[in-house]
Structure formats: C-alpha cells, structure tokens
Amino acid sequence: MDHAPQIVTWTTALSVGVDHLDAHHRRLIELLNQLGGAVSLGDSRQVTGMVLGELIRYVFYHFGEEERLMEEAGYQDLDAHRQSHRIMADHVRSLEQAYDRDPSAVVAAELHAFLADWLVHHIRAEDSRYAPALCQMAQAV
C-alpha cells in the first residue's frame, strides 16, 4: 500500500449533541481505526473479518437506537434517514458475505476508506439534521 489509512479523529464537529449517540459514533470510529491500524501493519486480512463482523453488529444496533430516538422525537425526516441506513447496512452486509466467501475479495484499505468517508459524511450531513429534534426531546424529559 502506498500510504497508511487516514485515522479518523473524534472532534466536537462530529457531535450530534446526544451523549448516547455520540458514544456510538466514537465506537464506530474506534472500529474504523482498528481496521486502519491493521492495514498499516499488514495483517489486515485477519483483522478485516473480525472488524467487519463487529462493525455490522454495531451498525445495526446503532441504527436501531438512532431510529428509535428519532421516532420518539417525532423527527420529520425519519423515513429518508432510515432509507440511508438501509442502503449502508445492505452494502456492509454484502461486503461481509463477499468476505465470508473469499477473504481476499474484500480489500481492507478500500473498505476502510469507504467506511471512513461514509461515516464522517453521514454524521456531518445527515445525523446533524436530527440533533435539534433529539436535543429538544431530551430537554423536555
């Protein structure tokens, strides 16, 4: 590989203002960085399967929690957000299936780049839109 994968760093710019969901996003970033570290060290194939499995489980857990909170808050763009989650979940599931069939079919560096780009964009562009509704709900409780 020509260069090491970029480490994704948690910053307040990625905060959605809901501690519970921020913790989820931090965990997803940790998983991404584990994969990036494995790519840098050259043992990405072994780690790819482990990270993919954990990432898939955590993504589904996180998406479910996020959608539940958006529903409770009456977030008006829930359907569009849910659709974005489904597209991503289907893509990650297809990567896991490809990996299960042939571990060499999933290039860890490409997986890392895709997931890092998607996650940061999703948090900044999409998750940030629900923040006011969820923060308002939290204050009302």
Report if residue 33 sits inside a domain.
Answer: yes
What's residue 82's pLDDT? 95
State the pLDDT at residue 3: 62
133, 18 Cβ separation under 8 angstroms? no
Banded model confidence at residue 1, pLDDT cuts 50, 70, 90: very low
Average pLDDT over the chain, rounded to an integer: 86
pLDDT over 90 (residue 69): yes
Cβ 53 vs Cβ 26: under 8 Å: no
CATH number at residue 58: 1.20.120.50
| Domain, as residue range, for 114 | 17-140
Cα torsion through 64, 69, 72, 74, rounded to 10: -100
Evaluate whether residue 130 is within a structural domain: yes
Note whether residue 30 is domain-resident.
yes
pLDDT digits (tens, 9 = 90+) for 73-110: 999 999 999 999 999 989 888 888 888 898 887 888 88
Confidence of residue 141 (pLDDT cuts 50, 70, 90): low
Domain count, the chain: 1
| Residue 68 lies inside a defined structural domain of this protein | yes
Pairwise CA distance, residues 124 & 19, whole Å = 16
Residue 11 lies in a domain: no
The pTM for the full model equals: 0.85
Q: Does 1 reside within a domain?
A: no
> Considering the domain boundaries, does residue 10 fall inside one?
no
Q: Looking at the chain, how many residues does it have? A: 141
User: Which residue intervals of the chain are DSSP H helices?
Assistant: 19-41, 44-73, 78-101, 108-121, 128-140
Q: Which two tokens mark 47?
A: 């780690």
Instruction: Tell me the mean pLDDT in the region 40-61.
Output: 81
